Amino acid sequence: MRMGVLGSGMTAQAISARLAELGHDVVIGTRDADKLRGWQSSNQRVLIGTLAETAAHGEMVFNATDGAGSLNALSMAGEENLADKILVDVSNPLDFADGFPPSLTVFGKDSLAEQIQRAFPMTRVVKTLNTVTARVMTHPLEVADGDHHVFISANDVEAKSQVVDLLRSFGWTNIFDLGDLSTARGAEAYALLWVRLYGAMNTGMFNIKIMR
């Protein structure tokens, strides 16, 4: 499948490499391609594009840009290039204006996922993977043999189903359907607990499991 991954950081790199490994045709998109040249030298199956080229390339597009800059980056990617496509939003709206630990730029009665959906009404936004670090997103079996949960939120049931299939191809077996896209408010707010768990354990190689 043709995949576009927007972003140039650790998350965008991890997702791009994993998608390429799984046989997808991947373009990673950024405002500054030079940031990715070194990484690409060992990931030559992934091509580098502009944000717009990357969105145009993808049948499915990932938002792996910094959450605080996502709306701007997606605007540069272009509404027409994202129309009718699934946008897998894995970002967190982290606000580092006052340093670490971060707050969030949007919270409570709204979420970044919903902001994106409102800004791109023709795009089918699916929120997932934002509750774990990049390596766990793409290699869930490396934490407790995969015995933990990833969440998914979307208004479009068919889009959600396609992303569930993709998550399974990454190795996810416990996929918790939170409901419609407004439930992303919960998954995004969890980022503030995640940073505290990270602080206490000094590693991002963890996740939570829902116990009943």
Please say which residue, 39 or 190, places its beta carbon nearer to a second copy: 190
Binding residue for a second copy (CB under 8 A) from 53, 59, 95, 156? 95
Nearer to a second copy, 5 or 163 (CB): 163
Choices 46-54, 103-111, 119-127, 162-170; region in contact with a second copy by CB under 8 A: 103-111
- The reply to whether omega before 102 is within 30° of 0 (cis) is no
Integer Cα distance of 87 and 163 in angstroms: 10
C-alpha torsion sign, points 2, 56, 126, 124: negative
Q: How many residues bind a second copy (CB under 8 A)?
A: 42
Q: Rounded to whole angstroms, how far apart are CA atoms 8 and 50?
A: 11
Identified binder of a second copy from the candidate list 83, 122, 141, 201, rule CB under 8 A? 201
Q: Which stretch binds a second copy (CB under 8 A): 32-40, 54-62, 142-150, 161-169?
A: 142-150
> How far apart, in whole angstroms, are the C-alpha atoms of residue 125 and residue 86?
6
175 near a second copy, judged by CB under 8 A: no
CA distances, 86 to each of 71, 122, 161, 197 (Å):
16, 10, 11, 31
Enumerate binding residues for a second copy (CB under 8 A): 95, 98, 101, 103-104, 107-109, 143-144, 147-148, 176-179, 182-183, 185-187, 189-197, 199-201, 203, 205-212
